[in-house]
Amino acid sequence: MPELPEVETVVRGLRPHLEGRKLVRVLQRRPDLRFPLPKNFAARLEGRRVLSIDRRAKYILVRLDGEETLLCHLGMSGRLVLGRPNGVPLDAHDHVVFETEAGTEIRFNDARRFGVMDLVASDGLAAHKLLCDLGPEPLGNRFDGKSLATSLEGRRTPIKAALLDQKVVAGLGNIYVCEALFYAGLSPRRQAYTVQGGRAERLAWAVRDVLRRAIDAGGSSLRDYVQADGELGYFQHQWAVYDCEGGACPGCDCDRRKRGGIRRLVQSGRSTFYCPTRQR
């Protein structure tokens, strides 16, 4: 599933092509994605001008004139890909196609159909069922060591699971939680309530740092992920521990033959990668 840096990369890629542009044609090729698409979806979008595009957690928010916002989630395999009308023939999984007055085509391709699209009144966006319970943005001003420590107080669950709870921090996913815990020197097994004071400060810094570096690098190039302009991201070349089982972590001076290097364990059905020497 695309994580926060991948979604932010898509948002930045779409802005030059959508902001200020009118949607002159919208093609809806099926009635639903993960949920049914809104009634008269295409007709309600055609003729609308895009005012701005931003992100909340892993959701893309396309703000339109007429005080409505197109809310989009890429799901597990969704892609928003740029092109030109009458160019490459439509793929079977191109479910929604947008065309702007400038002649740009944006296709929403989603093989697994776990993506989401909805039209929401802009002034009611914060109360939408998919957004109302989200925690602070990890790159926003409300997120720091003190706020993180407060959110973790009394939580008797592994810190890895706590960070994946979108009510604690919005938008974090499996890859970047593994990376942040490594740079903060915290074991994924550590109980969340013990991450206070200096530990919380280190972890908040690590979360922000790894996300910023991933965004700068263009997002992680997973099998189903493509940037808006069709180019793959490449942050996976900078991963310290994720998907590196048996390898040496950056700066490692332990004997891998004795300790086995980076280890993998399964937590809540997801793979966790960590260095048992450096993370406590």
Half-sphere CA count of 136, side-chain side, radius 13 A: 17
Three-state DSSP at 99 gives: strand
Q: Name the nearest CA neighbour of 156 among 118, 107, 194.
A: 194
Q: Is 5 in the active site? A: no
Catalytic residue among 22, 25, 208, 270: 270
Q: Name the nearest CA neighbour of 177 among 207, 214, 132, 200.
A: 207
Q: Is 2 in the active site? A: yes
Three-state SS across 192-215? Answer: HHHCCHHHHHHHHHHHHHHHHHHH
Q: How far apart are CA 27 and CA 46, in angstroms?
A: 9
Q: How far apart are CA 31 and CA 42, in angstroms?
A: 11
Place of tokens 């196609």: 97
H-state helical runs in the chain: 4-18, 41-45, 145-152, 159-164, 174-184, 197-217, 256-259
Catalytic residue among 58, 79, 107, 263: 58
Q: Is 36 in the active site? A: no
Largest alpha-carbon pair distance within the chain?
65
Q: Is 46 in the active site? A: no
Query: 23, 102 in Cβ contact below 8 A?
Result: no
Q: How far apart are CA 250 and CA 241, in angstroms?
A: 8
Write out the catalytic residue numbers. Answer: 2-3, 58, 270
